[in-house]
Amino acid sequence: MDTDFSQCVKKARDGDADAFAELYSTVYRELYHIALVNLKNQHDASDVVSDTVLEAYTSIKKLRDENAFKAWMIRILTVKIKRKQREYIKNRDHLTSIDDLEDLDSVEQKKAGEINYGGLEIMEEFKKLNEDERLVLSLSVVSGYTSEEIAKITGSSANTVRSKAARAKIKLKKLLEER
């Protein structure tokens, strides 16, 4: 990892807010995309990312490895996403429609040149996957993490991650073929 990046992490650990902001600027898009794909709501995705940033900022002194900043941020984010998903289940009437992809579609249409999720057909079927399947696929396909990295982020084994990803891909392929 770049020396400047390591220095920036060290400064952030010493309480430099500008250094933390610089670090955050390297991951904010990815954090938001992961949250949006998994929560399917712009407001909730923004809230979860905000909560993640606040927690990271207040606890950056605990980050031991400067090179692990991005994975550490995503680990915090996945915990926040899972809490929000549990809240959805607990409070079903809070959501007007858990299958509503308007937020996700409108954001993707506005963001030309950024991550492309492959169109409406895939997104329509992607929403039918369960929470774990969406999380694993969003981390692997959208963000490009390996099964070992996802295992560290989610607290699972790499074999479990690979199994979930394989089953999710098969399920998604079957759903797309049935269209």
Last residue of a domain, one of 97, 116, 135: 116
Last residue of a domain, one of 116, 134, 158: 116
Domain match, 138 and 58 both: no
Query: Which CATH number characterizes residue 27's domain?
Result: 1.10.1740.10
CA–CA separation, 14 vs 60, rounded Å?
9
Q: What is the pLDDT of residue 48?
A: 95
Q: What is the pLDDT of residue 30?
A: 92
**Each residue's pLDDT tens digit, 39-97:** 888 999 999 999 999 999 999 999 888 888 998 999 999 999 989 888 877 766 444 44
Domain match, 18 and 79 both: yes
* Positive or negative torsion for Cα 32, 35, 37, 40: negative
**Each residue's pLDDT tens digit, 105-116:** 444 444 434 444
Query: Which CATH number characterizes residue 176's domain?
Result: 1.10.10.10
Contact 100, 40 (CB under 8 A): yes
> pTM to 2 decimals?
0.66
Contact 26, 70 (CB under 8 A): yes
Which residue range(s) make up the domain with 98?
A: 1-116
The band of 120, judged by pLDDT with boundaries at 50, 70 and 90, is: low
